[in-house]
Structures are given as C-alpha cells and as structure tokens.
Amino acid sequence: MVYIIAIIIFLLLALYTVIPYGLSRGLGWKVMKRAESPTDIAFTFDDGPDPTYTPVLLDVLKENGVKATFFVVGNKAEKNPDIIRRMHREGHLLGIHNYEHTSNWLMSPWKVKEGIEKTADIIEEITGERTVYYRPPWGILNLIDFIKDNRYRIILWSISAEDWKASGGSDKIRRALTRIKGGDVVLLHDCGDTPGADIEAPAITIDALKDVLPTVKAKGYTCVRVDEMQ
C-alpha cells in the first residue's frame, strides 16, 4: 500500500512539474520562445529592477535606440518605482517575473497566482498600464500555468548567454550573442542577487552590450519589445 501511495505521489509531482517543463521548454507548447521575423530581435532582462545596474543598462539602451522587455520582480518594483516609471517612459515593455524570485515548483498554485496578480497590480499602479506578459523564474512552469486562464502570455527565450554568472567575463556573453538571428528572444539579467547568480554579473552584461548592440544593428536586425515581434 505504501508503495502504491509513493507511486501516486511521484506521478502527481511529475504532472505538476516535470511534464509542464518538458512541454514548454522542449516543445514550446503554450509559450513564446521566438518569432518568425527574419529581422526582429527581442532583448529581455530578468530579476530587476536593481538600483545600481538597471539605470546604467537603461542608459546603454537609450544610447543605442533599443527598446527592450523587462520581466520585473514585484517586491523590487515596489522598492524602486522610479526605475519602473523610467522604463515605461522610455518605451520599454514591462512584464511579470512574479512577486518573489521563487521557483513555481516550490509554490502552491494559489501562491503562484497571488504573486503574478500582485506584481501586475504593482506595475499598473506605477505606470497606469496593466501588463499581460509573464516569465516565471528560471522559466519553470507548473501544471497550473498551462490550465489557468489565458490573460497572460508566457514568454521564454531562444538564446541565453548564461550571464547570471561572472565567470568568462564579457567575452563569454559576446560569443553567445554572435548566434543571434532574426526572431530570437534573448535572455539577459539586470540584477545579480538571486540564488545561484553573482552579484557583479550585470556589470559584465552591460559592458558586453556596449559592443553587441551596435553590432546587431549593423547586421540589419531591429531590436524590439516582445509585443512588437512579427
């Protein structure tokens, strides 16, 4: 009897975690990982806003005429409303990265939903606009993300520079981003205080982007928000 119960628990956990992960990350089911455009590229940034790094990143984006998408953590947005206002004022798209940077596998469906809604409320209160774009922490989805209503569009990525670690420096990021092609959604980070990340890593990302952004544009690509991708 204990063996049967253990099997049932294992299958339920797999249904809640591993199967949705495989369907989304592997097959791209019910998520956006890239677009069909031969020229559009979407740079996306997770885990902020960070009061040290995000303003510097915004300066670099502005200098290069790039509009990006920021998936913000709700409790950080609450603490840094001026940065959120600046993102919105300068034409960037704001998305949800949940209220805390915790894996959806480690939270109940109700806690996940509460965090999404709370973050959407915070963004709306600061900017006057309610976002419908959502990227779960680490891109990890659970079963409820698949069966809940379709108010939110789930955005993953097609290229990651693994820039949450400082090892390899900016050259590692430059090399990773040489693979960019039309339709790609690029995952980067503007905050390094999440579990497993290096606190100084965003400075390296920003340094690499100073070279990457002009190069990308020189190749004929257009940097757009994810809601503008064709």
Place of tokens 């502005």: 62
Whether 171 sits among the annotated catalytic residues: the reply is no
CA dihedral of 162, 159, 28, 228, whole degrees rounded to 10: 120
Place of tokens 């249904």: 15
How far is it, in rounded angstroms, from Cα 121 to Cα 129? 9
Options 40, 46, 145, 163, the catalytic residue: 46
Options 145, 184, 189, 190, the catalytic residue: 189
How far is it, in rounded angstroms, from Cα 103 to Cα 200? 22
For residue 71, give the DSSP letter.
Answer: E
Longest dimension (CA), the chain: 65
Q: Which two tokens stand for residue 207?
A: 């340094």
Q: Which residues contact 21 (CB under 8 A, 6 or more apart)?
A: 140, 141
Q: Three-class SS of residue 225?
A: coil
Whether 82 sits among the annotated catalytic residues: the reply is no
Q: Cβ(73)–Cβ(101) under 8 Å?
A: yes
Active site residues: 46, 189
